[in-house]
Amino acid sequence: MKFTYEITMCEPERDFLQIKFINEDGEEYWKNIKHEVWEPESVKAAVAAHGPEIAAFWDRVKNRDNKALADKIQLTGEFECEPEKYFVETPEWPQMRDAPEYDPFTQRIQEREWELGVDEWIEWDIIPLTAEEQAEFAATVAGDIRSQRNWMLMQTDYIYSPDCQIADKGPWEVYRQALRDVPQQPDFPKSVTWPEAP
């Protein structure tokens, strides 16, 4: 028996495949199947696997007295139903609380583990830094401050240019020395007071 087929619906998210088979007389047979692999050859093999079943169906019914059968059943009617939900509703994501205050020179914060659909809030944990981590962080901050200090010194190098028209360079030299002394401040690098330019 020869027949053609048409893929009328495929929904990978719910492993659903619908196929319409058409025989030589133009009669249609619709088949819904569960299918998980969505490669062309796999879909084609799934269609072929149901071919003998469809051929057997048409072979059984070709000589059936459809009119006599129609007299026994109600061919029309009506009913109500709710639409099928194709997708599972995703739980709401938890809200993230504001990060707590902490001392970055001795502590770090870490997002606490949470579970979707269970936790309403994402909490934070404050974790102490090891001595090695504290030293590494302080060195990084100190390096950034020194880079900024060096840039500020460069911005005042022009006072030593022959073209500079500033007669009294004394306040500028005091300012530049204060910039050089920034790493000697008592709370460096945790706290820095920048000198004001003249």
155-185 pLDDT, tens digit per residue, is 888 888 888 887 888 899 999 999 999 999 9
32-81 pLDDT, tens digit per residue, is 888 788 788 888 888 888 778 777 776 776 655 555 555 655 556 676 76
Q: What does the pLDDT average to over 116-137?
A: 92
CB-neighbour burial class of residue 57 (10 A; exposed 0-12, middle 13-18, buried 19+): middle
Q: Which of the four pLDDT bands, split at 50, 70 and 90, describes residue 110?
A: very high
Of 190, 192, 193, the closest CA to residue 134 belongs to 190
Give the count of alpha carbons within 13 A of 64, CB side only: 11
pTM of the model: 0.51
Contact 157, 176 (CB under 8 A): no
Domain parsing of the chain, residue ranges: 3-65, 95-128, 131-184
